[in-house]
Amino acid sequence: MRHYHPSLRVLVTGGAGFLGSHLCERLLEQGHDVLCVDNFFTGTRRNVEPLLDHPRFELMRHDVTFPLFVEVDRIFNLACPASPVHYQHDPVQTTKTSVHGAINMLGLAKRLRARIFQASTSEVYGNPSVHPQPEDYWGNVNPIGPRSCYDEGKRCAETLFFDYHRQHGLDIKVARIFNTYGPRMHPNDGRVVSNFIVQALQGQDITLHGDGSQTRSFCHVSDLLEGALRLMESGPDLPGPVNLGNPEEFTIRQLADLVVQMTGSRSRIRTLALPTDDPLQRRPDISLARKRLDWEPRVALREGLVETIAYFDRLLASGGARPSAPLP
């Protein structure tokens, strides 16, 4: 596996978010200069606070829906709210972030002849009729529903990436990221891992949507980033898309029971209506990543939850999280 040349300068959009802040750390550890760009809609300075004094780290407040003029060698485009609570808050802006953001970052990459990575999502598969989901499955997506701003925004971003690749010979890498969890998740993002942990720690009812039989596959942030970095440094014959996620599948009820058990909480489980277009199954086929990147997740769910619970416990103790609200 090739590694970056130490003198390279790497731009991370959405760099103050959950995934982005961990990625900035990893890149600095590898000896790179990192320019972190974020508009702080869902990201927070707290996530990158320990990096602010690092001599090779720079933080810039900027919205990717506006052009950015910087000089870099690599671009990781992670900017976009990624949870239903946040991306449905301002759906028009969510679509703009995915589409205009992609156009602006691709334009920058084209000018600089820089390699560019797109953080796409398993949501491009919609509510899948194929299980598990391989990269050649085109998906089953509602183009006019409440989740469409994110699902179709990310699908359009993939279209743009591959058209820039074909039309301009741009060096692209597209990863489809499945449910990822770990420290620095937003406490009020409405995702099941953060929701369940915060509710359990606060002794609130665990809000389970539907009967809890819907499935998700949870990938620890350290595993996810290892796959992303390997994809970024893979050969030019692998533009993607490549699924990155954990193929071990859990029902939402199993997750709820596990969180209650691990936190020692007395929370009861309360069922709510299933949100519109909520996928009933989600599990990646990672055959391509195994074959081409020699990558697969190593952190078991129970192991990863230990540090994630500890993170939220500290956050709540410091007053850094308000009680989480159920999905709209």
Q: Which pLDDT belongs to residue 7?
A: 78
Percent of the chain having pLDDT more than 70?
94
* Whole-number Cα distances in Å, 111 to 64, 71, 156: 16, 10, 21
If DSSP codes are grouped into helix, strand and coil, which group holds residue 35? strand
Kindly report, residue by residue over 233-249, the tens digit of the pLDDT. 999 999 999 999 999 99
Residue 291: how many other CB atoms lie within 10 Å: 9
Q: Are residues 199 and 80 in the same domain?
A: no
Strand residues in the chain grouped as ranges (E): 9-13, 33-38, 57-61, 74-77, 115-121, 172-177, 180-181, 206-209, 215-217, 219-220, 242-244, 249-251, 269-272
Q: Are residues 92 and 129 in the same domain?
A: yes
Angle (CA) 20-22-24 rounded to 5° is 70
Distance CA 15, CA 62 (A): 11
The residue with greater pLDDT, 63 or 280, is 63
Is the pLDDT confidence value at 328 over 50? Answer: no
pTM of this structure: 0.93
Tokens representing 80 are 């976009």
| Element of type H or E holding 160 | helix 148-168
Does residue 285 sit within a domain? no
Q: Which pLDDT belongs to residue 109?
A: 98
- Can you name the residues that pair with 119 across neighbouring β-strands? 175
Kindly report, residue by residue over 19-63, the tens digit of the pLDDT. 999 999 999 999 999 999 999 988 999 999 999 999 999 999 999
Residue found under tokens 């820089």: 114
- Give me the active site residues, please: 150
If DSSP codes are grouped into helix, strand and coil, which group holds residue 13? strand
Residue found under tokens 């407040």: 61
Tokens representing 316 are 């709540």
Q: Are residues 147 and 208 in the same domain?
A: no
Domain of 133, CATH number, reads: 3.40.50.720
* Whole-number Cα distances in Å, 178 to 59, 85, 170, 198, 211: 27, 17, 25, 21, 22
Does residue 293 sit within a domain? no
Does residue 25 sit within a domain? yes
- pLDDT bucket at 76, cuts 50 / 70 / 90: very high
Q: Are residues 169 and 46 in the same domain?
A: yes
- pLDDT bucket at 326, cuts 50 / 70 / 90: very low
What length is written for the chain? 328
Q: Are residues 136 and 79 in the same domain?
A: yes
Q: Which pLDDT belongs to residue 100?
A: 97
Q: Are residues 225 and 210 in the same domain?
A: no
Residue 232: how many other CB atoms lie within 10 Å: 18
Does residue 287 sit within a domain? no
- Enumerate the H helices of 169-249 as residue ranges: 192-201, 221-232
Domain of 265, CATH number, reads: 3.90.25.10
Q: Are residues 230 and 253 in the same domain?
A: no
Total number of domains constituting the chain: 2
Kindly report, residue by residue over 301-315, the tens digit of the pLDDT. 999 999 999 999 999
Q: Which pLDDT belongs to residue 281?
A: 82
Distance CA 29, CA 21 (A): 13
Percent of the chain having pLDDT more than 90?
81
Kindly report, residue by residue over 173-230, the tens digit of the pLDDT. 999 999 999 999 988 877 889 999 999 999 999 999 888 999 899 999 999 999 999 9
Distance CA 37, CA 40 (A): 9
Is the pLDDT confidence value at 18 over 60? Answer: yes
Determine the structural domain holding residue 210 and report its residue range. 192-216+248-280+300-317
Of the ranges 27-36, 83-92, 295-304, which one carries the lowest mean pLDDT score?
A: 83-92
Q: Which pLDDT belongs to residue 188?
A: 81
